[in-house]
Structure 1
Amino acid sequence: MKIKQLGTAAAERIPGIFCECDLCRHAAAAGGKEIRTQCQAIVDDAILLDFPGDTYLHYLRDRFPLPSVRSVLVTHWHSDHFYGEDVAYRMNGYVISNPVRHMEVYGSETVHGFHERAFFLEQRHDEDSVAFTTVRPGDDFTVCGGPVDTDESGNAVDGGTGTLRKYRAHAFEAAHGHHAGDCLFYSLTDGERTLLYAHDTGWFPDVTWDELARVGGHYDYVSLDCNHALHGSSLSMHMNFEDNLRARDRMVELGVADERTIFVANHFSHNGRTTHEEMAEAARREGFRCAWDGMEVEF
């Protein structure tokens, strides 16, 4: 599997859209990895994790194959994770040519409401082009990736049984929303490798730790919310790096992670008052990686 972190910031980004704190002024002056856009990732160039308002910026900057994306896993309804108005532009009439006919969006019932609002504003639906599937904590479901690799004769060469790669996703309850089950995070597996993408969430609810133990398996890549980085407080809706370390220890304790697991600190706010350079050094000392916009990892 391959994951590319397209964006690694909280809603206001770094530098913050209306902020001139010390960290934001430093990021604006330094550029490079200090610049962070709204959190989003893509797996195997085919499955998007979240669809924020910065999706179009990511598409222009990184040239990932957005028109070919078949599946979008949405964590929750905040606009830095789901911007439904742009999803609606996938409908016939806005698109003249697209290599992929259909895209499926997955998310909670609350996200579904925001999805429906976007299409209400358009005064029409086009479910042949884009549709929504509601998922709940504990749901295990299949999502489509890109085409199976073929040889010159068009025969599958990777053992696949169909024309599209199939992945299994699992929805976990996040500690972020107004009530249980309206915010999620996901695991995703291609049958050989498995990742966990845990944003936005505070310390996992007890029900989620129980679910991680019940589902079992082994995570090869774990991206954890580190909104408050090194200097911000741990909050009920977000984590800091100290929480990330505790989460890693708990996952190892449960037997779902070990020394082979790639742990990544991700989703940063300027409220954490930590530069990328400072965060990367702290992560390195603890055997973590610090995500940055454009970071790509194959595992």
Structure 2
Amino acid sequence: MRLTFLGTSAAELYPAAFCQCEYCNRARQLGGRNVRANAAAFLAPDCLIDLTRATAVQAHRFGVPLERIEHLFITHAHGDHFDLDFLWWSRYSEADSDSPGCRESPAPLLHLYAPPRVYAMLYQDGQGPDPDLHRMQVHPLEYGGHFQAGDMACVALEANHQDGDGRRAMNYVIQRGGRTLLYALDTSWFLDETLERISEYRYDLVVLDATYGLCSEHDTQHGDLALAKRALALFMERDLLREGACFCISHLSPHWTPVHDDLTALLEGTGITVAYDGLTVGV
């Protein structure tokens, strides 16, 4: 299993576009791993988790072939994770000459795995994507449901993060090639039922939300460093990590989280890996 982080920032990007706070200015000065795009990931060889315009740019930057993607997992409908207009434009075939960004070459059928709010957006006009025109098939997901995505055995978990219309985001357990991934961005501490489901597996790779970084005094539906450390301790206590497992944090906000260089030094020896754009983890 090989996961490439195509983006690791929270919604405002890192540095935030119009901010001149200490962390944002330092990220601009340092560049490199200290600069982050919106969170998304590529699970080789054919799976993408979340999609925005930034994802396409980052994929080109890191040599990820989006044109070969066959499986697209969406965590939730918020704009820093799912860009519906971009999806429509990029999936149109040349048969629709009115599309400003139409696809003029063949594409593999894209299987899109949709949480409730995302599914509602896709079918808001009552029609939804056309398998021929868009080369796309939508699979509606239910919280706690098992589903198969190609050779991947998956579970859709209810995240502790509102997605609109009373619905919540989704985290995913993905099993492939004898390895198990927990992808849990845009969630605060796990809901009780979700934690029970998480505890049914042992993981080779865990990706957790740490949006608020050093700030643990927040009333949000995101994580922070204290919650990440708490989660790692719980996973170790329950023996949920296989030997050699990688425990990563992502979805980092510049207003609460030090730049990558400083954060990595701060967490040295804790067992927590700070993800950065372009990081590939093989387990």
- 4+ long deviations beyond 6 Å: none
Distance (Å, rounded) in 2 between the aligned partners of 1:28 and 1:124: 41
- Measured after TM superposition, the shift of residue 18 of structure 1 is 2.1
Residue correspondence of structure 1 range 204-283 to structure 2 within 5 A: 204-213=190-199, 216-231=200-215, 233-258=217-242, 260-283=244-267
Distance (Å, rounded) in 1 between the aligned partners of 2:186 and 2:38: 12
- Measured after TM superposition, the shift of residue 113 of structure 1 is 2.0
Matching residue of 1:149: none
Contact residue 160 and residue 189 of structure 2 kept, 8 A: yes
Distance (Å, rounded) in 2 between the aligned partners of 1:11 and 1:82: 11
Query: Given residue 134 of structure 1, which amino acid in structure 2 is its aligned partner?
Result: P
Query: Given residue 237 of structure 2, which amino acid in structure 1 is its aligned partner?
Result: E
Matching residue of 1:157: none
Contact residue 197 and residue 223 of structure 1 kept, 8 A: yes
Contact residue 160 and residue 168 of structure 2 kept, 8 A: no
Which one of 159, 168, 175 corresponds to residue 182 of structure 1? Answer: 168
Matching residue of 2:92: 91
Distance (Å, rounded) in 1 between the aligned partners of 2:219 and 2:279: 26
Contact residue 91 and residue 126 of structure 1 kept, 8 A: no
1:123-142 per-position Cα deviation (integer Å, ceiling 9, x unaligned): 97422301211102111111
1:171 and 2:156 aligned: yes
Contact residue 54 and residue 80 of structure 1 kept, 8 A: no
Matching residue of 2:37: 37
Matching residue of 2:178: 192
TM-score between both structures, scaled by the size of structure 1: 0.85
Q: 1:106 to 1:63 in 2, by over 3 A?
A: same
Matching residue of 1:132: 138
More strand by share: 2
1:224-258 per-position Cα deviation (integer Å, ceiling 9, x unaligned): 10101124535441111110011112223333225
Distance (Å, rounded) in 2 between the aligned partners of 1:292 and 1:204: 24
Distance (Å, rounded) in 1 between the aligned partners of 2:270 and 2:244: 14
- Measured after TM superposition, the shift of residue 188 of structure 1 is 0.7
Matching residue of 1:109: 116
- Work out the percentage of aligned pairs sharing the same amino acid: 28
Aligned residue for 1:188, secondary structure, equals: strand
Aligned residue for 1:269, secondary structure, equals: coil
Contact residue 3 and residue 280 of structure 2 kept, 8 A: yes
Contact residue 176 and residue 238 of structure 1 kept, 8 A: yes
Task: Extract unaligned runs of 5+ from structure 1.
Answer: 145-165
Distance (Å, rounded) in 2 between the aligned partners of 1:175 and 1:133: 22
1:169-206 per-position Cα deviation (integer Å, ceiling 9, x unaligned): 11111011157653101011114001111011001111
Aligned Cα RMSD in Å?
A: 2.0
Distance (Å, rounded) in 2 between the aligned partners of 1:132 and 1:8: 26
1:127-172 per-position Cα deviation (integer Å, ceiling 9, x unaligned): 230121110211111112xxxxxxxxxxxxxxxxxxxxx1111111
Distance (Å, rounded) in 2 between the aligned partners of 1:65 and 1:11: 24
Task: Extract unaligned runs of 5+ from structure 2.
Answer: 95-101
Distance (Å, rounded) in 1 between the aligned partners of 2:189 and 2:218: 9
TM-score between both structures, scaled by the size of structure 2: 0.90
Matching residue of 1:14: 14
Q: 1:96 to 1:8 in 2, by over 3 A?
A: same
Distance (Å, rounded) in 1 between the aligned partners of 2:214 and 2:32: 20
- Measured after TM superposition, the shift of residue 63 of structure 1 is 2.8
Q: 1:248 to 1:259 in 2, by over 3 A?
A: farther
Query: Given residue 253 of structure 2, which amino acid in structure 1 is its aligned partner?
Result: S
